[in-house]
Amino acid sequence: MAPSTYDGVAAVLALLVLLTEFAMLRAPLLRSQVRLYAFQSFVVTGLATYVAASKHIDELYALASLSLVLKVVIVPSLIVRLLRDADTDLAGSSVLGVASSILIALVVAAFGFFAVGSLHVSSSSLPTSSLAISCAIVLVAFVLIILRSDVVSQAIGFFSLENGVSVASLVVATRLPLIVDIAFLFDLLVAVVVFGVIMRVHHARNATLSTSDFDRLRG
Amino acid sequence: MSSLVLVLVCLPFATALVTWMTPVRFSQYLTIAVAMVTFALTLVLLPRVSHSVVTTGSVFRVDALSQVFLLAVSFLYATTALFVKGYLALGDGASARRYGRRFYAGLNLFCWTLITVPLVNGLALLWVALEITTVISALLVALDDTEGAAEAAWKYVLLASLGLGIALFATIMMYYAGTGVHGASYSLSYSTLLSGAARYDPGVIHFSFVLAVLGYGTKMGLFPVHTWLPDAHSEAPTPVSALLSGALLAVSFYAILRFFQIAVLSVGPTFPRDVLLVFGVATLLLAALYLLSQRDMKRLLAYSSVEHMGILAVGMSFGAPIAVVGVLLQVLAHAAAKGTAFFGVGSVVRKFGTKDMAKIRGGVGALPWSGPMLVLAVLALSAMPPFGIFRSEFDIVYGGLLEPRDVIVAIFVVLVILAFFGLSWFTTETMLSPDPSGTQISGGAVLVAKGEVSNWIVSAMVIGLVALLILGVHPPTPLVHLLDHAAFELRGKP
């Protein structure tokens, strides 16, 4: 059976979220990473709105607008303000070059995609391939966090992982109690504040946002 | 009874608000009083939930399993409140006052979140409550504002948040598994999930359970996602280390047990047990080896916590009812023993001004009460009779032999003995080796005068040791009923 327009649009939006994740892997400037995160969150918000409109799920509109305000506007602007104070532009050099990072991410994403695809999960709200894509997004976010060595990239990695989980929740648990989704979004806001406090402490002490000197505690 | 649950939730939260605004001297006594009342209320709740479930609205629910963890958390809350009174030596300056206010508000807020985790009804609220524990405890780890604290807090907040991201994925998959039975829109409450679990899609449950063990296992300190734990435990203020170790790891294990309970009903016991076995043995092996090479007292205790979390996972994998009872008793005994050990280390650190074991000698001579009690607490952690952990680990091993899983039991015993060597070697070296005033001491040790840091610390340690003795020698009958019933619940009956 040929996929419907709805399935096609949803899969394309989910794929766009994954591609943005790859773009983050190669972005050399911290600011461009924050912008990519804002764009990624915007796409996730668009996906939520699209599901809400197509499936007539009104709660999702509330979630989408909240996510628009928090993830597209507030969180990125908080991080940009932090960057202005820190006066650092370049992301911490990756442990590997861009080409190797992307290759590793491709392998990891393919693993996630096919592993979840083999579960044969069927959903009434979105095409199942979107669940496999969301798992790939989560795994590539892990690659980003592992390979980058500065606190901003690692924090952005975590926030984009949350976008991946949001896509998964839109795919298989559209009607998950709204309270959880909203609590999750507010948690994100609190997490930004906690990340911000720790980043500030770290920067004030070491005049850097790099995590390369986070090697005192070992063993 | 249901209003009692509300009081349990509200009291620590209100205390956190009050301590934020009041002078530290008042906050100290208020926290002690509230923590004692909280523990007393938990004891009042005990006989009731040993045989039935207490619910308050749709948000809170206490059964025997949650009561076990509630007991561990509230006991540690009470003893930590006593310990802090003796441990915190704040000056009169404005910065000291600010630190004291932040510390007490943070401590009460942290205990509030820890108490809320076992009280909430359902996997969704459970996730929300555990996420709040991360946020607050990360700030508490960073509170001392040292370079080490910033590094530890960063690793902790990043890894724990990632773990919780995976745990949310697990929760979403569990929700999806239930949509075929309960319809597209339902609440993730335990009673709903347990009533329908037998009809869930096994493939999705397998995936969800592995994700839950990985995600919540990050907060519990399971290998390979344990790396934040030694750093956070060693760099946090000592009272926070005690709570992280005895309570936070336990409530994270509680979250895994809730998934376990549903998975057993859905896919049978073999798969969930095998998953826990793999993670448990790997964790135990890692901790036993690392315990042999520690030089920092708090890191030593942190690796001992990793070891005990491995024991809990292996114990659950044995599956025999007596092993499960042993696991739950271990949760209680570990909270008491690890709390007491951290209080003792806090006393040593205050006395000697260092955590470096190479510089600490003659601890028992310098600290006539807390020194010997620290040695006893470490022996209790190493499962020496007559303390509670001896009884719990005996139950676990006995359960393993009944199953029978002889090879695993043999590996388990060898690793526990290895951990015992690491723990007791370094502790006896620092605490029992000759006094620095003697002639045999080599250079580098810190010289201190004899005498206790504070009687409050001593009293907190006495309570911890008495509790360990009671758990080991003769656990009270209501507690035995509670543990039996909780183990019965974990067999997967709705």
Q: What is the ipTM of this complex?
A: 0.89
Which range scores top for mean pLDDT: A114-123, A173-182, B145-154?
Answer: B145-154
Q: What whole-number distance in Å separates Cα of residue A141 and Cα of residue B101?
A: 38
- CA distances in angstroms from A58 to A50, A63, A66, listed in the order given: 11, 9, 13
Cα B306 from Cα B294, distance rounded (Å): 14
**Domain residue ranges in chain B:** 1-119, 142-268, 269-494
Interface test with B, best of A131, A154, A187 (most B CBs within 10 A): A187
Query: Residues A128-141: pLDDT tens digits?
Result: 788 889 899 999 99
Q: Which residues pair with B356 in a beta bridge?
A: B296
Nearest CA-CA distance, residue A191 and chain B, Å:
7
Judged by phi (left if over 0) then psi (alpha if -120 to 50, else beta), residue B155 lies in: alpha
Q: Would you say residue A60 has pLDDT above 90?
A: no
Give the closest of A158, A211, A217 to B231, CB-based: A217
Q: Do B218 and B279 contact (CB within 8 A), yes or no? A: no
Secondary structure class of A97 (helix, strand, coil): coil
Would you state the pLDDT for residue B176? Answer: 87
Q: Rounded to the nearest 5 degrees, what angle is found at the Cα of B413, between the Cα atoms of B465 and B73? A: 35
CA B485 to chain A, closest CA, distance in angstroms equals 30
pTM of the model: 0.94
Residue A210 bridge partners (DSSP): A150
Contacts of B125 in chain A (CB under 8 A): 180
Chain B, 148 to 207: residues with Cβ < 8 Å from chain A are 148, 150-155, 157-158, 161-162, 165-166, 168-169, 171-173, 175-176, 179, 184-185, 187-188, 203-204, 207
A174 interaction partners in chain B (CB closer than 8 Å): 184
In a domain, A132, yes or no: yes
Helices and strands (H, E) in chain B, number of each type: 20, 2
Interface with chain B: mutation pick from A133, A169, A174, A176, highest number of B CBs within 10 Å: A176
What pLDDT sits at residue B438?
A: 43
CA-to-CA dists, residue A186 to A67, A78, A191, B111, B470, angstroms: 10, 14, 8, 21, 43
Q: CA–CA separation, B472 vs B394, rounded Å?
A: 11
Closest CA to A218 of B155, B159, B410: B155
Residues in chain B: 494
- Give, in degrees to the nearest 5, the angle at Cα B267 between B264 and B270: 70
With beta carbons under 8 A apart, name residues in chain B contacting A165. Answer: 165, 168-169, 172
Selecting from B132, B151, B299 the residue whose C-beta is nearest the C-beta of A216 gives B151
* B32 Cα to chain A: minimum distance (Å): 28
Q: Which domain holds residue A190?
A: 5-206
As a whole number of angstroms, the distance between CA B182 and CA B202 comes to: 16
Q: CB–CB of B169 and A187 under 8 A?
A: no
CB of B289 within 8 Å of any CB in chain A? Answer: no
Which residue type sits at B57? G
Q: Is residue A213 in a domain?
A: no
Helix or strand run (H / E) with residue A159: helix A151-172
Measured between CA atoms, the residue of chain A closest to residue B235 is A217
CB B76 within 8 A of CB B333: no
Lowest average pLDDT, out of A67-71, A146-150, B367-371, goes to: A146-150
Would the CB atoms of B124 and A179 count as touching at under 8 Å?
yes
Q: At residue B55, what are phi and psi to the nearest 5 degrees?
A: -120, 150
**In the prediction, which pLDDT does B452 show?**
86
Residue A214 in any domain: the answer is: no
Burial B99-128 (b: 16+ CB within 10 A, else e): bbbebbbbbbbbbbbbbbbbbbbbbbbbbb
B123: closest chain A residue by CA: A180
* Distance between CA atoms of residues A14 and B185, nearest Å: 23
**Average pLDDT by stretches of 10, chain B with 494 residues:** 89 96 92 97 93 89 95 97 90 83 95 96 92 90 82 88 91 89 86 92 91 95 92 93 96 97 94 96 95 90 95 94 96 97 94 86 88 94 93 95 89 93 85 63 65 92 97 95 93 60
Task: Tell me the CB-side half-sphere exposure of residue B39, using CA atoms within 13 A.
Answer: 17
Which segments of B368-444 are extended strands (E)?
Answer: none
Residues of B in contact with A155 (CB under 8 A): 158
* B154 to A151: CB separation less than 8 angstroms, yes or no: yes
* Neighbouring residues of B83: CB distance < 8 A, sequence distance ≥ 6: B238, B239, B242, B339, B343, B346, B456, B457, B460, B461
pLDDT at A90: 67
Is A41 a member of any domain? yes
- Evaluate whether residue A17 is within a structural domain: yes
Residue type, B100: G
What local confidence, expressed as pLDDT, does residue A2 receive?
A: 61
Indicate if the alpha-carbon torsion angle B309, B310, B313, B316 is positive or negative.
negative
